[in-house]
Amino acid sequence: MGPAAAADAPKAATLTVAIDGTAFQPAMLTVKAGDSVTWVNKDPFPHTVTSAAGGFDSREIAPGKSWKYTAAKKGEFTYVCIFHPTMSATLKVE
């Protein structure tokens, strides 16, 4: 790929999901393969971002901290907080 082709290639985006009020906001996020997602924990207690299918796991995200994931595989991925199983959201990778 030459310099012109590289310049025309779409740039990967970085999107943010807030963890606030014991919820993932937004609860459904669509990204393109190669994009990154940063989850920011705004709650006063720890959370995780854990794929139900085992595709990704943030481990514990302390209050005020964040975790970044680069989406490589296309599909629809449901994820939860293992500390608060009622917290559920979906990451759709196109």
Looking at residue 48, its pLDDT comes to: 99
Cβ 8 vs Cβ 70: under 8 Å: no
Query: Who contacts 8 (Cβ-Cβ below 8 Å, separation ≥6)?
Result: none
Q: Is the pLDDT of residue 4 over 70?
A: no
pLDDT at position 24 is 99
Domain boundaries, the chain: 10-93
Is the CATH code 2.60.40.420 the one for domain 10-93?
Answer: yes
Q: What percent of the chain has pLDDT over 90?
A: 83
Q: What is the pLDDT of residue 93?
A: 97
